[in-house]
């Protein structure tokens, strides 16, 4: 009886290891797929910007691809984030990128540009953002540079954070707390103010975080 029980325990342990390793492989494969999709969208955006003068050709390329073309690419050097910005904030969009919030200013224009992302996805690193950090927003027209002005926590009803601003600004939105289990009760906000165009400021992407303070 004792030997049989030992064999059953060993079989149960082996089964647990098999299921555990299988789950880890599936989880790793999922995140690898998301990262590959994000890289693909960044590459598509770069190609569109290079081909911006040839608008007819760019339009044909976009029509051939069933996925929407990115509006911009968001880069935050401090947290090593490079992610495409797509239209809308549906779950399908935020699973592969960050999303431009409808009703806010378009990337590359004046006003308050709202961008949302998942706290357990691309915007997890926002927990480490502090005032003074630099954010880049690559658009078809060029690279806009922003400096973080403040971060704060609001309730989901506080949509005033997305109200229009008299000058160009960038508002990043994600759920909070970052490690909350279930539907998070609050929203974490990052507000950044426009510093200038990278070309006009005269520094490269690799030095932007050290130069703009």
pLDDT digits (tens, 9 = 90+) for 152-210: 999 999 999 999 999 999 999 999 999 999 999 999 999 999 999 875 555 444 444 44
- Vertex 57, ends 45 and 107: CA angle to 5°? 35
Domains in the chain, start-ordered, CATH in brackets? 68-211 (2.40.260.10)
- Return the pLDDT at 48: 47
173 vs 43, more confident: 173
Q: What is the largest CA-CA distance in the chain?
A: 81
pLDDT digits (tens, 9 = 90+) for 67-98: 678 999 999 999 999 999 999 999 999 999 99
Q: Residue 171 forms beta bridges with which residues?
A: 114, 191
- Return the pLDDT at 203: 46
Report yes or no: 84 and 42 within 8 Å, Cβ to Cβ: yes
**Long-range contacts of the stretch 197-200 (C-beta < 8 A, 24+):** 197/142, 197/143, 197/144, 197/145, 198/136, 198/142, 198/143, 198/144, 198/145, 199/142, 199/143
Instruction: Determine the average pLDDT of the residues in 45-62.
Output: 44
59 vs 159, more confident: 159
- Vertex 77, ends 36 and 87: CA angle to 5°? 55
Structure tokens at 156: 């989901």
Residues 6+ away with beta carbon under 8 Å from 184: 119, 175, 176, 177
Report yes or no: 171 and 190 within 8 Å, Cβ to Cβ: yes
Segments of the chain assigned E as strands: 72-76, 81-87, 98-100, 112-116, 134-139, 142-154, 169-176, 186-197
Structure tokens at 169: 């600004």
| pTM beyond cutoff 0.85 | no
pLDDT digits (tens, 9 = 90+) for 85-144: 999 999 999 999 999 999 999 999 999 999 999 999 999 999 999 999 999 999 988 999
- Return the pLDDT at 68: 75
- Return the pLDDT at 102: 97
**Residue 35 predicted with pLDDT over 80:** no
- Return the pLDDT at 141: 87
């Amino acid at each position: 009886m004792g030997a049989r029980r030992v064999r059953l325990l060993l079989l149960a342990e082996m089964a647990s290891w098999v299921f555990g390793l299988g789950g880890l492989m599936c989880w790793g494969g999922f995140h690898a797929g998301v990262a590959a999709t994000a890289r693909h969208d960044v590459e598509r955006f770069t190609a569109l910007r290079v081909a911006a003068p040839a608008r007819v050709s760019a339009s044909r390329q976009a029509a051939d691809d069933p996925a929407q073309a990115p509006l911009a690419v968001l880069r935050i050097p401090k947290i090593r984030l490079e992610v495409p910005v797509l239209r809308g904030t549906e779950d399908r969009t935020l699973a592969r990128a960050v999303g431009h919030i409808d009703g806010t200013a378009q990337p590359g224009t004046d006003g308050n540009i709202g961008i949302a992302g998942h706290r357990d996805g691309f915007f997890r690193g926002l927990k480490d953002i502090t005032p003074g950090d630099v954010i880049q927003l690559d658009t078809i027209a060029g690279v806009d540079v922003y400096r973080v002005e403040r971060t704060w926590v609001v309730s989901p009803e506080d949509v005033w954070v997305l109200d229009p601003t008299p000058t160009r600004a960038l508002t990043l939105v994600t759920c909070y707390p970052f490690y909350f289990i279930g539907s998070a009760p609050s929203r974490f906000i990052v507000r950044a103010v426009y510093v200038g165009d990278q070309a006009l400021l005269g520094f490269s992407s690799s030095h932007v975080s050290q130069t703009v303070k």
